[in-house]
Amino acid sequence: MTHAVIAATGLFTPEQSISNAELVGAYNAWAERWNAEHAGQIAEGDVAALTPSSEAFIEKASGIKSRFVLDKAGVLDPERMAPNIPERSNDELSIMAEMAVKAARQAIEAWGKPVSEIGAVLCAASNMPRPYPALAVEIQQALGIEGFGFDMNVACSSATFGIKTAADFIAGGSVKAVLMVNPEVCSAHLNFKDRDSHFIFGDVATAVIVESSDTAGPGGWDILGTRLKTVFSNNIRNNFGFLNNAAPEGIGAPDKLFIQQGRKVFKDVVPMVSDMIVDHAGDLGLDPTELKRLWLHQANINMNSMIGRKVLGRDPTEAENVIILDDYANTSSAGSIIAFHLHNDGFVAGETGLICSFGAGYSAGTVFVRKR
């Protein structure tokens, strides 16, 4: 019976990285300047003084130690506090397409087959550079792939939703192979002037080739089952969009960048995702406590640790519950794919693992895989 296989993956990592110490230094310099400029209002009690950030606070709250970014200088400039990514002409490959193409080429090389066998390109990410033309179609053209492509956005869950979509295309006979890419320039939607979130995100791109079992060669991963879930919540939100032009008084407001109520997110998402994983495993006839490895969304080490304990029924080892956010930070949809790409070794045929993502929406996706 035809089913979908994860045949290859790819990863593009920017050359520049920012340590917690560097990020804290930039934020504290900006906050000190802001406090000085508003000293009168602070003294009168009209506004609260900004609290300095610290490396200890960041690591305890998130487990993050550094993050890769496209532009380090702009983020660390107290006068700017945002990456400097110049706009490109319409005749140039866009920055997000360029990132995706680099990750895709690595996946295609590992796959070892011509792009003519790919019938669709899905670009699944938390932010797109424009409404149209679709970024997926730009990537499709750059790689010389025929067929079709389209963009999809389910925030941090976009990659698992993309794998599910690719697997459904294959099961339905539409195509024999799908390229699914996740370019994430998270530094561009992060408010580096917000102490509670300025450390969260990094930039990266990942790629996954999902192929029909009819054409797949040896190796790879059988997709045993996929499941998606969404529950509406305002606890993670970004109000940037084309309608801002119709209400210019709101342009530049904090809600036009990433905002979240972290404690509420933790309280809501951990049990939702844990229960979803256990229920899905049961429906597939799998014992979740026997999963060899979890490749979870890389949002917060405390969330991942708690989900790992609930799923495995014990404290997971580092090898069982992969953490890469210490080096990469939260990379939105790409996080679970980075974890899978970098740490899928040591499996023998028949052993199982889980790719899982969760985030704004709320949204969550589970993809159980078995080593071929």
Report, as residue numbers or ranges, the catalytic residues.
156
Residue 170 has phi, psi (to 5 degrees) of -70, -45
Name which of 287, 285, 278, 293 is nearest 371 in CA terms: 293
Give CA–CA dist 263/256, Å, rounded: 21
In the chain, the largest separation of any two C-alpha atoms, in whole Å, equals: 73
From start to end of the chain, where are the E strands?
A: 4-12, 16-19, 66-69, 120-124, 148-152, 177-185, 203-212, 221-230, 236-237, 259-260, 293-296, 352-359, 363-371
User: Residue 109, class by beta-carbon neighbours within 10 Å (0-12 exposed, 13-18 middle, 19+ buried)?
Assistant: exposed
The single-letter DSSP state of residue 91 is T
Residues 6+ apart with CB under 8 A from 106: 10, 11, 12, 207
Q: Which helix (H) or strand (E) holds 166?
A: helix 158-171
Asked if residues 64 and 302 have their Cβ atoms less than 8 Å apart, the reply is no
Nearest-5° Cα angle at 83, 201 to 336: 25
